[in-house]
Amino acid sequence: MKRVLITGAASGLGLALAKYYAAQGWAVCIADIQDEAGQAIASQLKQQYNSDCFFQHLDVTNDQEWLQLANDISERWKGLDAIINNAGVASSGDIDALELKDFQWTVDINLMGVVKGCHYFTPLLKDSRGNLINVASMAGLLHISGMSAYNASKAAVVALSETLYSELDPFGVKVSVLCPAFFKTNLTDTMRSTNESGTVIAGKLMDKSTITADDIAKQVYNDSLNGKLMILTHRNEKIFWWVKRFLPSLYFKIMKNTAKKFHDAMARKQA
């Protein structure tokens, strides 16, 4: 039986991933700070698929909890076939308005939480020639104004993943980075923002998306097993990323105009 560890798996995309992997016959470790929800999901998957699914509390900023999880998985499963570093948060606000503690909070979870997952579990993945999957965002490739902390943290996850894609290849470890655009999830529930409109806009874009967490989970499963580095789930944003790469002047013109329209709208609202 294959074994996967998924962080932030008690809700949102992490939950969809846990369900999909369990349905494919994998043993799943649900690691999350949401104890009650995590335990309930693990129990449900274990009963439904008769597989070794279990929950363990994990704050991805806590080194001791990472170390304990690595030890427990090594003892319980004697190895690991895949890790999905999914846990993440969102923040928004202009660089001179967003509090530094909120910028740090975003980086600590979105970037360093992923770094720690890679650090503590790469030895097991080398042994199994397994899969390392990091969840970034299209915000790691396309950088909308007012999202400096989130964009920077997700761009760093992309850079980290590209580095490990080459670094771990001699050991047979396949590395993938997921870069989805908006889809319906619970990310805005904990979002820290200097402007309520930013959260409202993000929520509306999520609700309008025709791509679901279940769709993304299926693509992650298939693409990662095929060794695909960049997993892009949204067609329009993928095209815009190509515009950025090959027509950067047009890309930045669009981004500047978008930023101006947003700030003009905020100014009218406050007037």
**pLDDT, mean of residues 11-29:** 97
* DSSP at 55: E
Distance of CA 18 to the CA centre of its chain: 14
How far apart, in whole angstroms, are the C-alpha atoms of residue 38 and residue 17?
13
Q: What is the mean pLDDT of residues 145-168?
A: 97
- What is the pLDDT, as a whole number, of residue 182? 77
Of 173, 166, 161, the closest CA to residue 127 belongs to: 173
Q: What are the tokens at 76?
A: 């319980």
Predicted local confidence at residue 263, as pLDDT: 75
Active site residues: 150
The Cα–Cα gap between 236 and 111 comes to: 26
The angle formed by the CA atoms of residues 234, 239 and 240, to the nearest 5 degrees, is 100
- pLDDT at 96 exceeding the cut of 90: yes
- Cβ count within 10 A of residue 259: 14
Residue that has been written with the tokens 């660089």 in this structure:
95
Q: What is the mean pLDDT of residues 102-108?
A: 97
Per-residue pLDDT, averaged over 242-256, amounts to: 95
Average pLDDT over residues 234-242: 93
With a threshold of 0.85, does the pTM exceed it? yes
Which residue pairs, CB below 8 angstroms and at least 24 apart, start in 56-59? 56/29, 56/30, 56/31, 57/31, 57/32, 57/33, 58/7, 58/31, 58/32, 58/33, 58/87, 59/33
pLDDT for residue 176 is more than 60? yes
Q: How does the average pLDDT of the chain come out, rounded?
A: 92
Range of the domain at 173: 3-270
pLDDT at residue 209 in the model: 64
The total of structural domains in the chain comes to: 1
What is the pLDDT, as a whole number, of residue 215?
A: 96
Q: What is the pLDDT of residues 113-136, one digit of tens each?
A: 999 999 999 999 999 999 999 999
pLDDT at 267: 66
Burial category of 267 from C-beta neighbours within 10 Å (exposed 0-12, middle 13-18, buried 19 and up): exposed
Does pLDDT of 204 surpass 90? Answer: no
Q: Do the Cβ atoms of 205 and 255 come closer than 8 Å?
A: no
pLDDT tens digits along 34-77: 999 999 999 999 999 999 999 999 999 999 999 999 999 999 99
In the predicted structure, residue 201 carries a pLDDT above the cut 90? no
Q: Where does residue 74 rank: exposed (0-12), middle (13-18), buried (19+ CB within 10 A)?
A: middle
> What CATH number should be reported for the domain holding residue 234?
3.40.50.720
pLDDT band of residue 261 (cuts 50, 70, 90) is confident
User: What share of the chain has pLDDT > 90, as a percent?
Assistant: 83
Q: Are 21 and 221 in contact (CB under 8 A)?
A: yes
Strands (E), the chain: 3-7, 27-32, 54-57, 82-85, 91-92, 131-135, 174-179, 192-193, 230-232
